[in-house]
Amino acid sequence: MTRISRALLALLALAIVAFSAWALVDNAPLYLKTLLNGLTLASLYFLVASGFTLVFGLMRNVNLAHGSLYLLGAYVGWVVGDHTGSWLLAVAAGFLSAAVLGLLMQVFVFRHMEGQDLRQTLVTIGLSIVLADLMLWGFGGEIYTFDPPPLIYGSTVLPVVEKFPTYRIAVLIAAIVIGIGLWTFLARTRVGMMIRAGVDDRGMLAASGVNVQLVFAITFAIGAGLAGLAGVVGGTALSISPGEDTRYLLASLVVVIVGGMGSVVGASIGALLIGLAEQFGLAYAPTYSVVFTFVIMVVALAFRPRGILGRAA
Amino acid sequence: MSAAQWRRAMNSAAAAAAPTVRVPPARPRTALPTSAANEVATSWWTRWFARIRARHVVVLVAIVVYPFVASPFFAYQIGAQALALGLIALSLTFLGGYGGMVSLAQMSVAGLAGYGVAIFGTSSAAAISLGWPWWLATALAIVVATAFAAAVGWLSVRTEGIYTIMITLAIGVAFFYLAQQNYTVFNGFQGFSKLGVPEVLGVESRDPVPFYFVALACALAGYFLVKHLVRAPFGIALQGIRDNPRRMASLGYAVTAHRVAAYAVSGLLAAVGGVLMAWYNGRISPGTVNLSAMISILIIAVLGGMKHPIGAFVGAIVYVLLQNFAIDLFVRERFNLVIGAGFLAIVLFSPDGLLGLWAKLRSSLVKTQTPQQTRRQL
């Protein structure tokens, strides 16, 4: 890192500290509430983007249908939740449905066009259009909402902030748990080791006798499933409607561009930055909140073209 | 640019191109059997005319006669819209087909040009529009959009290959949300309507026939610009960079500069297309630059085929026809399903688009021609 970029970073940190100090003195509850909201949003983004980055890191497949998987998981989860009345079953259904669809996509489409990055991406675009229209056909343009179980329903009294929805705190905790789980899976288990080896050198992994297709299928299923799970979790925190697929696709794109593609830890850093920037932008400069997201992306690309934790492909 | 200037520019460019590029790689079939020295000596238009085939004349006559034969609906709704969309798709074909960089932000560039026309010119939102004359507004809009495209290029060429599509997609979607959220410059959700349309010599250019010819002139200019550029030293270097950037860099070519310049050129094409779209619609709103609009440009380019500039226009015609008549042919309101499935089928079974299908068909029909002759090289 050069001296200039270090100085710029220090300047940026100083600006953030100065802003925080001003905001805390000016209106502490607003600042803390925004911070908590930002963390909640960041957890949602992390859930969606971790699957995206996992699939990309291993297969070099930019799955632009990832947003559709999110929405599909949310819709399927809603149907299951509506029939059974159980929110946990809805989460499971969201995970499973998206995982199955992701598995089908990998086995029937992407396996046959390995190494053709652009063509795979174009296929995912086509799939996302078809899926979005099918879901619009099936579920219409209405807005659906979930009822979380009573344990995490309502609001909790926190110091300074006073009332804050319990569900959002639960989302935050769930994201941390899932993040740690994912990290443990990747760092400590045999399959996780294979996935990491595949990210680094696909050819060598295949040469050492591992069934790469199976590893690909597992990774794709987990990545897609995480999107579906995030669909139900995010749909409960906010709502589900057509167009949410685009929103979360953009979020995962920016998160992995900033965090570094193929890195789960990078995804968590990226999600934190983007989620906080978006919420603070909405609270303090409403008409320009998207610009903050964009500026973060530009700055990250300018200093680290492969993302904060990205490595050479 | 006046005719004389244009001729001079063409002359000097052709003279510069001839010694370095003896066999025009764009069309090996049409290479003249003259030596390089002769090629410089013969005037540019002799060589130009030698390349014209019967099908070129037929197509030219057809597109000129078309608005007089067709109903205003077909001239305006189908013809002019296909030309404007084709021009935007052409910018992607140039960038993707010859530069190897598939950018999804082309519609955002076009949309920014459209917004420029609305902001600098006249519109319903009098508080924001500056009300400058149309020629100034249009020129400024095109300049701003081209600069934006160059900036997008500068940002996205820092990374390579598949990353480009992600970064341009993120930029495009971010631009859409900015246009939707921002009320001080982009007038938020409703955008601008009643855009000022140029009126030259008492002719309202939004009437079907004049507008068709404006669009046709722009589309032809764009088409021949691309045709010319890909044979000029710049275009050849760009294709070299597409195929092997490392080798081109070691040969002393400024890879990044060429790529950014390619973005700027494609931005110019997209900006002109965007101005045409804005005039055509008479309004501009965030819906013009949303994700499905961005992707539809990609669909058009891929549908037609990215191996030749004409593919963009073929794709645009098919797309516009489908858009207008899919409702009659298929289930109502399932246009996206039809176009998405069609796009999937093309990507899965014929990566070179309709042009690729056509080339395959022709090579299987005409047995006398060798495969090398029928296969179109870039």
Q: Does A141 touch chain B (CB under 8 A)?
A: no
* Mean per-residue pLDDT, B324-330: 73
Q: Hey, what are A310's tokens? A: 């990205």
* Mean per-residue pLDDT, A147-176: 78
Asked if residue A127 lies in contact with residue A67, where contact means CB atoms within 8 angstroms, the answer is no
Q: Does A115 touch chain B (CB under 8 A)?
A: no
Q: Give the pLDDT band (50/70/90) at residue A198.
A: confident
Residue B169 to residue A291, Cβ atoms within 8 A: no
Q: Give the pLDDT band (50/70/90) at residue B109.
A: very high
Domain annotation covers residue B65: no
Percent of chain A with pLDDT over 70: 96
How many Å apart are CA A104 and CA B134, to the nearest integer?
53
Residues of B in contact with A125 (CB under 8 A): 295, 298, 343
Instruction: Report the complex ipTM.
Output: 0.77
Asked if residue B145 lies in contact with residue B110, where contact means CB atoms within 8 angstroms, the answer is yes
Beta strands in chain A, from DSSP E residues, in sequence order: 155-158, 162-165
Percent of chain B with pLDDT over 90: 24
Residue B167 to residue A301, Cβ atoms within 8 A: yes
Give me the pLDDT at residue B262, please: 94
CB contacts < 8 Å between A and B, how many?
Answer: 104
Out of A117, A129, A257, the one facing B295 most closely (by C-beta) is A129
* Mean per-residue pLDDT, B352-367: 81
Give me the pLDDT at residue A161, please: 67
- A-chain residue closest to B185, CA distance: A287
Give me the pLDDT at residue B27, please: 45
Q: Give the pLDDT band (50/70/90) at residue A146.
A: confident
Q: How far is CA A151 from CA A44, A166, A238, B206, in A?
A: 20, 9, 18, 62
Give me the pLDDT at residue A110, please: 84
Q: Hey, what are B251's tokens? A: 């040969």
Residues of A in contact with B319 (CB under 8 A): none
Query: Helix, strand, coil shares of chain B as percentages rounded to 5?
Result: 70, 0, 25
Which residues of chain B have a Cβ shorter than 8 Å from any chain A Cβ? Answer: 102, 155, 158-159, 161-163, 165-167, 169-171, 173-174, 177-178, 181-184, 290-292, 295, 298, 302, 334, 336-337, 339-341, 343-344, 347-348, 351
Virtual torsion, Cα B107, B112, B116, B119, nearest 10 deg: 120
Query: How big is chain B, counted in residues?
Result: 378
Give me the pLDDT at residue B34, please: 47
Phi–psi pair at A311, nearest 5 degrees: -125, 165
How many Å apart are CA B272 and CA B110, to the nearest integer?
7
pLDDT in tens, B236-269: 999 999 898 889 999 999 999 999 999 999 999 9
* Mean per-residue pLDDT, A258-285: 86
Percent of chain A with pLDDT over 90: 16
Q: Does A104 touch chain B (CB under 8 A)?
A: no
Range of the domain at B283: 70-290
Phi–psi pair at B284, nearest 5 degrees: -140, 135
Q: Hey, what are B128's tokens? A: 């924001």
What mean pLDDT value characterizes chain B? 80
pLDDT in tens, B298-315: 889 988 888 888 889 999
Out of B161, B178, B298, the one facing A125 most closely (by C-beta) is B298
- Across-strand partners of A144? A240
b/e string for B119-149 if b means 16 or more Cβ within 10 A? bbbbbbbeeebeebebeebbebbbebbbebb
Domain annotation covers residue B300: no
C-alpha B299 chain-centroid distance: 13
Beta strands in chain B, from DSSP E residues, in sequence order: 199-200, 203-204
Residue A130 to residue B340, Cβ atoms within 8 A: yes
Which one, of B86, B109, B112, B100, lies nearest residue B301 by Cα? Answer: B86
How close A86 gets to chain B, by Cα (Å)? 33
Q: Does A159 touch chain B (CB under 8 A)?
A: no
Asked if residue B81 lies in contact with residue B274, where contact means CB atoms within 8 angstroms, the answer is no
C-alpha B67 chain-centroid distance: 21
Give me the pLDDT at residue A229, please: 92
Total domains in the fold of chain B: 1
Domain annotation covers residue B310: no
pLDDT in tens, B166-176: 888 888 888 88
Which one, of A75, A55, A69, lies nearest residue A240 by Cα? Answer: A75
Percent of chain B with pLDDT over 70: 80
Phi–psi pair at A157, nearest 5 degrees: -90, 120
Domain annotation covers residue B57: no
Phi–psi pair at A155, nearest 5 degrees: -135, 155
- A-chain residue closest to B103, CA distance: A118
Out of A60, A126, A293, the one facing B347 most closely (by C-beta) is A126
Domain annotation covers residue B82: yes
Residue A133 to residue B292, Cβ atoms within 8 A: no
pLDDT of residue B189 exceeding 70, the answer is yes
How close A89 gets to chain B, by Cα (Å)? 31
Asked if residue B90 lies in contact with residue B83, where contact means CB atoms within 8 angstroms, the answer is no
- Bridging pattern class, strands B203-204 and B199-200: antiparallel
Give me the pLDDT at residue B38, please: 52
Residue B178 to residue A294, Cβ atoms within 8 A: yes
Asked if residue A285 lies in contact with residue B180, where contact means CB atoms within 8 angstroms, the answer is no
Asked if residue A94 lies in contact with residue A74, where contact means CB atoms within 8 angstroms, the answer is yes
Q: Give the pLDDT band (50/70/90) at residue B190.
A: confident
Angle at B349 between CA B346 and CA B351, to 5 degrees: 65
b/e string for A224-262 if b means 16 or more Cβ within 10 A? bbbbbbbbbbbbbbbebbbebbbbbbbbbbbbbbbbbbb
Residues of B in contact with A291 (CB under 8 A): 178
Which one, of B254, B262, B298, B260, lies nearest residue B165 by Cα? Answer: B298
Give me the pLDDT at residue B332, please: 61
Cβ-proximal residues to A164 (8 Å cutoff; 6+ apart), any chain: A33, A36, A155, A156, A158
Q: Does A285 touch chain B (CB under 8 A)?
A: no
pLDDT in tens, A274-306: 999 888 888 887 777 777 887 888 788 777 777
Domain annotation covers residue B256: yes
- DSSP single-letter state for residue A253: H
Domain annotation covers residue B158: yes
Virtual torsion, Cα B196, B202, B208, B213, nearest 10 deg: -100
Domain annotation covers residue B343: no
Angle at B76 between CA B70 and CA B81, to 5 degrees: 125
Higher pLDDT residue, A200 or A40?
A40
How close B302 gets to chain A, by Cα (Å)? 9
Which one, of B143, B99, B110, B122, lies nearest residue B306 by Cα? Answer: B99
CA within 13 Å, CB half, B203: 11
Q: Does A62 touch chain B (CB under 8 A)?
A: yes
Q: Does A295 touch chain B (CB under 8 A)?
A: no
How many Å apart are CA B29 and CA B199, to the nearest integer?
44
pLDDT of residue A93 exceeding 80, the answer is yes
Give me the pLDDT at residue B45, please: 67
pLDDT of residue A253 exceeding 80, the answer is yes
pLDDT of residue B25 exceeding 50, the answer is no
Phi–psi pair at A156, nearest 5 degrees: -110, 145
pLDDT in tens, B134-161: 888 899 999 999 999 999 998 888 776 6
Q: Does A33 touch chain B (CB under 8 A)?
A: no
Residue A246 to residue B170, Cβ atoms within 8 A: no
